[in-house]
Amino acid sequence: MARKGERVSVSEDDDEDIYDPKSRGFCRACVDLSKFGLTKAKEMVSKPSVECPPDKIELGKATWTLLHTMAAYYPIHPTLKQQEDMKKFLQIFPQFFPCRPCAYDFESNIIVHPPKLDSRHALSGWLCMQHNLVNKKIGKPLFDCTHVLERWRYGWKDNDDCRLPEQD
């Protein structure tokens, strides 16, 4: 019998099914758990509690928040070393991202559209384009990238609660 928190395999055939919650290879970070109420395991709650590890949706939101915020605080005029370090980070990042299909897509997109690292505006715009590639793939609306720094650094112009002066 499995201890609490251990994954139990139903059969040897599904050991590596990252999308099956009964598989030893199940990847919580690779799926939207809200879908399980209808598609996979009815015994799973449709929305995980705050204390549960993140699913694909939560991980995606947190990851994009981190990446966009990093880009928004990237130097306006980065040194060559800062550009090299950011390039390394973006290349290495997918190797450790828990959602393997997501990581593969990000890594593939970086090869097709290499990062633009010569300024804050360039990196933020490039990352917004990367995010929009994902949004398009999953059927979400595209973000207007002309507002990327307003969203991730300065705050919306019409929202005094989070609006900061555009000082750099």
Within-domain flag for 76: yes
Q: Which residues contact 50 (CB under 8 A, 6 or more apart)?
A: none
d(CA 134, CA 59): 14
Question: Do both 47 and 2 map to the same domain?
Answer: yes
Q: Residue 103's domain is classified under what CATH number? A: 1.20.120.310
Within-domain flag for 164: no
User: Per the confidence metrics, is the pTM higher than 0.85?
Assistant: no
Count structural domains, the chain.
2
Assign 3-state DSSP to the chain and report helix, strand, coil percentages, each to 5.
55, 0, 45
For residue 44, the model assigns a pLDDT of 45
Question: Do both 121 and 135 map to the same domain?
Answer: yes
Within-domain flag for 165: no
Within-domain flag for 114: yes
For residue 13, the model assigns a pLDDT of 45
Say what percent of the chain tops pLDDT 90: 57
Within-domain flag for 166: no
